[in-house]
Structure 1
Amino acid sequence: MARNGGRGRYRAASADAAAYERGRRPKPAKLAQRPTLRALVEAKLALCWSPEQVAGWLRRRFPGDASMQVSHEAIYLSLYDPRRRQAIDRSLTQRLRTARPMRRPKTARKPTGRGVIRGLMSISARPAEVEDRTVPGHWEGDLVMGTRPSAVATLVERTSRYTAIVALPEGIKAEQVAPHLTQSLLAIPPQLRRTLTWDRGREMAEHQAITTATGMPIYLCKPRSPWQRGTNENTNRLLRQYLPKAADLRTFSQANLDAIAHELNHRPRKIHGYRTPAEVYADLLNGGDALTA
């Protein structure tokens, strides 16, 4: 007979069973067991606090009192886990930033290939003549966003600062942007259609088709480097007077945008000796030296 005897084996089996019961899922939610804590959490969530903010505030408000603290993950589980329906008012998911009725797992998205910019030419490969603005016909462009997904495209000639605004009524996906941008570039006289520098956005995924149609090579800036197309950035800031971020830019017709561009192009610029971009652009078209005119 074992030294512990039968009674020892019985105690061991009982301890194993108790541990098993304690380890079963789901465990009773802490918020369901502590009404005061639950009320505090619900009150803060109702104020649009995030679970992480609530958990951090509780640690600061009740230091050393574990009964009045709960992790942000436990709050999320109480809100989204269907096995914890009685733990918290689940309608408070509407007060979270995403307001999702279901929680999405944090898994990395697999690349689909959509919107990938293939065969791009970096700005580092752009001809040196673009830098000093003495050779006209080099353009910069980007999207100006309104309320998403509304946007317009802007084009600025580097030497004259002449601006064109392109309506994008269908949206900002590459296949929606390319036809309108191509049409606008083809409206530029061939002698002023040399290169285009653009931000590295997915809307330019069709850049090769645009180049084929227009004959203009397109160079893309480095990621998060808006200063590499500074002329366009400055122009876009001026255009915010007409195209506010809170506006649905799909409501602006091409005629509306042409009128805005006309007004901007006929505004005197100090850099041109208070001549207008339209005047300088006209000189470039006529083959004159716009920089000294």
Structure 2
Amino acid sequence: MDFKIRENRTVAQGPRALVPEREEYFRLVDQGMTCAEAARAVGINLRTGKRWRNGRNASGRSRAAPPVNAVVPPPDAATPSAPSRYLDEADRIHIADRLREKATVRAIAAELGRSPSTVSREIRRNRHPTNGQYRPHAAQARADARRPRPKPGKIGQNPQLRDFIQDRLMLRWSPEQISHALRRHFADRPEMHVTHETIYQALYVQGRGELRRELTRALRTGRAVRRPHRQSHKRQSRAVKNMVMISERPAEAADRAVPGHWEGDLIVGSNSRSAIATLVERSTRYLMLVHLPDDHSAAAVRNALIATVKTLPPHLKQSLTWDQGSEMASHRGFSLATDIPVYFCDPASPWQRGSNENTNGLLRQYFPKGTDLAAHTRDHLDAVAAELNSRPRKTLGWETPAERLSKLLAA
């Protein structure tokens, strides 16, 4: 608002209410001015500003006035309340006092029993935007104004930001890629910066209306709702007995120095009715596809794996690492027939078979999800494996798995 101090300040004002002065006074205090500075700028007595802030009792013809920020006592004053997760006004006063004494953020945090990041974030968010000074009462007012929920979303308030995100989603960009692109294209405009989680929330949370619902089909998963994480105590026990865990696997398998250690898994077709077994050698990333034309029961997988690995030379039959899928329930029969020990990964730990997981992702180009994998012949599987084994790999110094394996066989 436009405010102008009265020119003649010697003439008594009488009963005229100082409404413009009061509004300007509180605006200056919210910006970080001291009460004395705000009173001088507005042209009122310091005592008047104090009555506006703290309220006054009824006296004569003057009616009582409540304080601007009324302090609500706890429901049970006799019972001390638990420490709040939020900073209160006393904490902010302590921060301001210690900052004037040149104390470090870590020292202030230790005195308040808070994390240093909490104190640092409080100073950064609630200090004066112009001069950078930290005023505790103004900081408390900013924090109170920021707290009420719900708040309008950042994407819904900014049409340019919403259009940028929707255009990239239509190009099948991931929310994380869009988030980094925003920071790169609008480096000096923080109002155009959002995290990828904000984009996911705008897509998944119903009722916000920030992004079009149909854009969820452009996500990698295509899901319109967020799938909850599996919980360990709700997992069903596997049918595999007498497992030897990966922690007992020889150390030579972990560093990939010795060839002959394999990782295996199944890629499953539509409705889990068909499958293909995959074997990846850890040192060379060489791939072998195992044909399962009838089913992928434990007996069928055991027999197909035995027939496949029998074609390998002895020094390439060191170990096999698998997940805890029920298709490996006959792992002891496989080990007896091939003399290859089987080691099992920990539950929900696919990174322990990283080479196999990466290769299975590449194979989905040839065997898309939701298709019938039993329709592929053994010759087709061999052709796909040969094509992947002849593809240069960065992790092999741009050699192909077939070239690396041939060098081992020649040696």
Residue of 258, 267, 281 corresponding to 1:135: 258
Q: How does 1:179-198 map to 2 (within 5 A)?
A: 179-198=303-322
Partner of 2:246: 123
Instruction: Verify: 1:216 aligned to 2:328, yes or no.
Output: no
Gaps of 5+ in 2: 1-235
The AA in structure 2 aligned to 1:122 is M
TM-score by structure 2 length? 0.42
Share of identical aligned residues, percent? 51
TM-score by structure 1 length? 0.58
Q: How does 1:142-153 map to 2 (within 5 A)?
A: 142-147=265-270, 148-153=272-277
Q: What SS does the aligned partner of 2:351 have?
A: helix
Partner of 2:356: 232
Greater relative contact order (Cα 8 A, min sep 6): structure 1 or 2?
1
- Mapped partners of 2:245, 2:294: distance in 1: 28
1:272 is displaced (CA, Å) by 1.5
User: CA offsets per residue over residues 115-161 of structure 1, 9 Å max, x none?
Assistant: 72122111111001111111111000000111121110000000000
Gaps of 5+ in 1: 1-110, 288-293
Partner of 1:171: 295
1:223 is displaced (CA, Å) by 1.2
- Mapped partners of 1:130, 1:274: distance in 2: 22
User: CA offsets per residue over residues 65-84 of structure 1, 9 Å max, x none?
Assistant: xxxxxxxxxxxxxxxxxxxx
CA-based RMSD of the aligned residues comes to 1.5
1:186 is displaced (CA, Å) by 1.1
Instruction: Verify: 1:247 aligned to 2:371, yes or no.
Output: yes
Partner of 1:85: none
Partner of 2:394: 270
Q: What SS does the aligned partner of 2:368 have?
A: coil
The AA in structure 1 aligned to 2:293 is P
Instruction: Indicate conservation of the 8 Å contact 1:192/1:285, yes or no.
Output: no
Q: What SS does the aligned partner of 1:168 have?
A: coil
User: CA offsets per residue over residues 245-286 of structure 1, 9 Å max, x none?
Assistant: 121000111111000000000001111221100000111112
The AA in structure 1 aligned to 2:281 is E
* Paired residues, number: 175
Q: How does 1:15-164 map to 2 (within 5 A)?
A: 116-147=239-270, 148-164=272-288
1:167 is displaced (CA, Å) by 1.0
Instruction: Verify: 1:280 aligned to 2:404, yes or no.
Output: yes
Instruction: Indicate conservation of the 8 Å contact 1:139/1:157, yes or no.
Output: yes
Instruction: Indicate conservation of the 8 Å contact 1:168/1:177, yes or no.
Output: yes
- Mapped partners of 1:199, 1:263: distance in 2: 26
- Mapped partners of 2:313, 2:378: distance in 1: 19
Q: Which has the larger radius of gyration?
A: 2
User: CA offsets per residue over residues 22-55 of structure 1, 9 Å max, x none?
Assistant: xxxxxxxxxxxxxxxxxxxxxxxxxxxxxxxxxx
- Mapped partners of 2:408, 2:340: distance in 1: 18
Partner of 1:203: 327
